[in-house]
Each structure stands twice: as structure tokens, then as C-alpha cells.
Amino acid sequence: MKNEEYLNHLRHSAAHLLAAAVLELWPNAKKTIGPAIENGFYFDFDFGDVKLSEEDFPAIEKKMKSIVQTWKGFERIEVSKEQALEDYKDNEYKTELINEFSQNGETITYYKSGNYSDLCEGGHVEQPSKEIKAFKILSLAGAYWRGSEKNKMLTRIYATAFPTQEELDEYLNMLEEAKKRDHRKIGKEMQLFHFEEEIGQGLPIWLPNGNIIKEELEGWAKKTEAEWDYQRVTTPVITKENLFFTSGHLPLYKDSMYAPIVIEEENYYLKPMNCPFHHKVFSSSPRSYKELPLRVCEYGLCHRYEDSGSLFGLMRVRGMDMNDAHIYCAMDQAVEEFINVIKLHEYYYKMLGITEYEMELALRNPEKMDKYHGEESDWELAEKMTIEAMEKSGVPFKIVHDGAAFYGPKMDFQIKSSIGRMFTASTNQLDLYMPKKFDLKYIDKDGQEKTPVVLHRAPLGTHERFIGFLIEHFGGNFPVWMHPSQVAILAISPDKHGDYAKELQKKFREAGIRVNLNIEAETLGNKIRKAQGDRTPYMIVLGDKEIESGNLAIRKRTGDNINMSPDEFVAYVKEKISSKSLEL
């Protein structure tokens, strides 16, 4: 049995156990379903008028521990529809399921362990009393029966189970750490971004501190792309609808686009992606093979309609700035260009201390072949070239048979954050379809007109998602080069030390260092707490001693202290900034 399958069986078995415990404690509760999910399981109950709270968790867990000792196995019992309906006559949820199962011609089965049995199709561990030992109830939520708002709201109990206590502890620690590092929490503490009901859901405002991070990241991308021979363009955020009919996004992708704006009786759409605009850059003049590969890049502002339920902080938004580029090249250049794109990702990740990552190639779902456009031969060729590039790159990858774009296979970069969460950072594509749709041409060596291959790439994803990730990856402790306030100067006495503090501030600023000056009339303890709250990399406390000696006492965010002259310190910080050091 594969590990994942075993985990699912273990967790679903633990869900039975959870229901058994709940029903012993609240005999009038009605049980519904309890599946395994990623990282755990849940069980939905109708508790009637009873309100459950987190304070009930220890009692439920205790009950689970005592019941499980009597569970030696799961016994499969076939029952008739009539018997099942009789057994569950007071439970309208199970009644609904029983009727459905029998309509579909399925055999109705119970699974029984100890004194507890449940309507179930199977998928359990063999020795529950030995195997279900490391579990934890995590949270409560409301959930509609069968996910429909028309139905009754049930109480969902989320929990998890692991084969060993060590694995469970590790997972719980990760959850704790993730809570501390939640980008929404840190974003508020460090005043990085803000959402405003009056502006609209999913449309972030970058506050001054967050904007610095955004501009540092963008400046880095611009410099890097210039070095890698990309050319920058700027394209409009709205366009006549025809452009998206040409690309095939309309009507196919319409549900993910904002409704059109009518100008002079024509429909204009906010762009959900930059591709068609870059295709127009390519076709703006006759192209020769000598110009290829032509790499067109832009931080392009896109808007996509995401339903309000799926919006989540910066991670899922409706307005996003994308680190986008399209590479136009000849067929025999495509694999090498794709490998270069992978190398660019590796460069960025290395600089940001992201050490674990892999690629995932999404191909067509064989059951939904009508979803995809383009010729079969192009699909096969695009798949073959993408796989060749991925193999040659040496980065580990896996293939999934779903999730391709309608015009070609899609390669995602999955990165692991410092707390071990996997995260889709960017999507890249090798595209033989759009160049034909847009009738892109270049004159080859032999004087013949040919169609280029297009690569879509966005290594730093969108500012929103990527910075959301970086906040959690660094836990707000950004490296010096991207930190909003690199140095804090705290004057012990505003009167006695304020002037020198300002002098230092001026000196540092002239050297291109971002300084936060605190000469307020408040205690030093307060000043230090504020600077720590900002996660400032370097804190300088100025008092009589520092002014007399001419040496600065610098406290690093890590707790280490260093002493140096102002000139030495400027040189020290400038080196950390220019090398994009992850160390302080």
C-alpha cells in the first residue's frame, strides 16, 4: 500500500472513532460523513441545539482513546436497503445517502468495530487499536450538508491522525509556526498591505512598507532580466474584446474575467493576462530569425474574477502584478530557452534561500479532451519538448494528467517554504497554439516565413502571491536588501542625542540605506520594542558613550552585537544590500 493510501485509511478510520466518541457523549447528535482529507480528516454532525466549543475537544479525545482499545478490526456487513433505512430512520442525512446508493445499484455496507458501526464503503486500517494512536482534534467550522447553502448548516469537526506521535508533533509544530508566520498577521504588524471594503475584495493596497518590498523585488527582476537579454515593454490594462476572441480566452475564460466596460459602443475587457499584448509587440514589425529569441517582459497588472469565497489575503486576489515575459524563438531554440527559464528560477530561489523545489508538468486530462484547443500533433510536440527540457535541467519533476491550459501543457514550479509548506510559485508554458492564432511570423535563414514558438514564463509569479509567500518564508524577517527599514536609530535622550541621531540618519540615507529614526520622548524599552516589532535588521542605540567614543553599538535582529565606526557600518550594510545577503 502506498504511504498516501495508508494515511487516508488511517485518517478515515480515525473519523469513525471520532464519531463513536461524539455519539457516546452526545447521543442525540446525528452523524453524517467523515472523509480523510489532505493533512487530516473531518466529520460533520447535526448537533441540534447543542453548541460545541473547543473546550469539548479534550473530552472527545479522551473518549476516543478509551474506545479505540476495544477496536480490533473493521468488520464488513452487507445490509438490505430496508434494513439500512430502518436502522437510520431518525437520521435524514443517512437516509438520503442510503436511497442514493441503492438507486445507483450499490451494495449497502456497514463497517463495525467494537460496539460502533457506520454506513461506509470501506477503506480502513486492519488493527485500529494498534494503529490509531496519534490523533488530535484541531478545529470547528460550519458546513452545509453536501456543500449547498440550501441545506442545513452542520458542525464540522476537523482533526488529524498520523502513524506515529513524532509525526503528529512535527505536524502540530508546523501548524503553530504557520500561524505565527501567517502573512495576513505579519502584514498587519509590519503595515505592508491593506484591504478596504470600499475599494473591493481582493484588491490590495500596498502600504509604504510593503511597497518598498514590491519595488525591491521588481528592481531585482528588471536588472536580472536585462542581464538575461530580455526587453521591457508596457502594455495597457484594458483592451477591445476582439483580442481575447483571437486568443480564445473569450468565451472560454469569460467566467474568470471582469465584466466588460463599454466605451464608444465597444466592449473593453480588463486583461486577465499579458500574453496577447506581447504577441502584438512581436507582430508590430516584420521579424527576422536574427532577432530570435526575442524576450519580451513586463510587470503587467492583470485582473481576474475569483469568487469571494476563494479570496485569501495576498495569496488569492483579484488584482495582481505579474512578473511576466514571453519568449519568441525558433523551434530548434525552444528546448534550450525553456532550460534557461528553469535556470532563472533556480537563480532566484538560491538568492532567496529556497532550497527545496520541484516541477510539476500538467498534461491533458484524457477524460476531458474536448476542453483543449489546437492540433494533436502540436500538443504531442509541445509535451515532448517540455519533458526534454525538464529532464535536461536536472530539477526533480512529476507529471499529472490534468490541469493543462486549453492551449498547451503547463509546468508549475512548486517550492517548499521554510516551514515545510508546498507552494505553487509560477507557471511556465511551451506554446505552439497561440503563435498560429495570432498569425505570428518571422523570415528564416532560407527566406521562408515561419511560425515562432512562444514560451510563457513568470518566475516570481505575481507580486501578491510571491510576497505573501516571502512573508511566511522569512516570517517577516526579510533580508536587509528588501527590508522596509534597514536600520533603526534610537536616541536615548531626544535633547542630548537627537542632533547626532539626525546627522547619522542623513549620512546613512545618502549612502542609500533606509533608516528609521526614533527621537521621541519615550522610554528606550519602548523604542526597542517598536524596532523589534518592525523586525528591523540593525538597531543602533545612541547615548553619551556612543557620542564620546565615536563608535556605534549595533544590535542585530538575531541578538548579536557589533561595534564599529559609522563609516565602517555604512560599508558593512552596503555590502549586505548589494550582495543580497541572507545573513545580517
Q: Which residues contact 205 (CB under 8 A, 6 or more apart)?
A: 193, 194, 195, 196, 199
Applying CB under 5 A, among 17, 67, 120, 440 the residue interacting with Zn ion is 120
Nearer to Zn ion, 120 or 257 (CB): 120
User: Site residues for Zn ion, window 544-573 (CB under 5 A)?
Assistant: none
CA distance 538 to 259: 48
| All three cell numbers of 552 | 556605534
* Stretch of residues binding Zn ion (CB under 5 A), selected from 130-138, 413-421, 454-462, 515-523: 454-462
Nearer to Zn ion, 322 or 504 (CB): 322
Residues facing residue 424 across a β-bridge: 414
Residue with cell 510576497: 467
- Please say whether the dihedral angle defined by the alpha carbons of residues 144, 145, 151 and 155, taken in this order, is positive or negative: negative
Q: Does 432 bind Zn ion (CB under 5 A)?
A: no
Nearer to Zn ion, 456 or 535 (CB): 456
Q: Mask: binding to Zn ion, 181-220, rule CB under 5 A, as x and -?
A: ----------------------------------------
Q: Which residues contact 328 (CB under 8 A, 6 or more apart)?
A: 282, 287, 292, 293, 294, 295, 296, 435, 440, 442, 452, 453, 454
CB of 221 to Zn ion, least distance (A): 16
Nearer to Zn ion, 193 or 282 (CB): 282
CA distance 42 to 21: 14
| Chain centroid offset of residue 247 CA | 27
Helix (H) or strand (E) holding 182: none
Nearer to Zn ion, 111 or 508 (CB): 111
CB of 573 to Zn ion, least distance (A): 38
User: Site residues for Zn ion, window 246-305 (CB under 5 A)?
Assistant: 275
* Stretch of residues binding Zn ion (CB under 5 A), selected from 19-27, 42-50, 112-120, 152-160: 112-120
CB of 109 to Zn ion, least distance (A): 9
| All three cell numbers of 506 | 542623513
DSSP secondary structure of 244-304: HHHHTHHHHTGGGSPPPEEETTEEEEE-S-SHHHHHHHHTTS--BGGGPSEEEEEEEEEE-
CA distance 50 to 327: 60
Applying CB under 5 A, among 31, 181, 249, 456 the residue interacting with Zn ion is 456
| All three cell numbers of 215 | 519595488
CA atoms within 13 A on the CB side of 49: 0
CB atoms closer than 10 angstroms to residue 102: 16
* Stretch of residues binding Zn ion (CB under 5 A), selected from 162-170, 455-463, 512-520, 549-557: 455-463
Q: Which residues contact 546 (CB under 8 A, 6 or more apart)?
A: 540, 552, 553
Nearer to Zn ion, 77 or 263 (CB): 77
User: Site residues for Zn ion, window 221-240 (CB under 5 A)?
Assistant: none
* Stretch of residues binding Zn ion (CB under 5 A), selected from 77-85, 238-246, 456-464, 512-520: 456-464
CB of 534 to Zn ion, least distance (A): 37
Number of residues that bind Zn ion (CB under 5 A): 4
CB of 96 to Zn ion, least distance (A): 18
* Stretch of residues binding Zn ion (CB under 5 A), selected from 110-118, 339-347, 415-423, 481-489: 110-118
CB of 39 to Zn ion, least distance (A): 19
Nearer to Zn ion, 277 or 481 (CB): 277
Nearer to Zn ion, 88 or 206 (CB): 88
CB of 263 to Zn ion, least distance (A): 25
Nearer to Zn ion, 60 or 275 (CB): 275
Residue with cell 543602533: 540
* Stretch of residues binding Zn ion (CB under 5 A), selected from 87-95, 193-201, 451-459, 555-563: 451-459
CB of 123 to Zn ion, least distance (A): 6
CB of 576 to Zn ion, least distance (A): 35
Among 99, 323, 137, 91, residue whose Cα is nearest residue 225: 323
* Stretch of residues binding Zn ion (CB under 5 A), selected from 150-158, 258-266, 449-457, 554-562: 449-457
CA distance 124 to 119: 13
CA distance 299 to 137: 44
CB of 247 to Zn ion, least distance (A): 10
Q: Are 22 and 29 in contact (CB under 8 A)?
A: yes
CB of 35 to Zn ion, least distance (A): 9
The residue ranges that bind Zn ion (CB under 5 A) are 111, 120, 275, 456
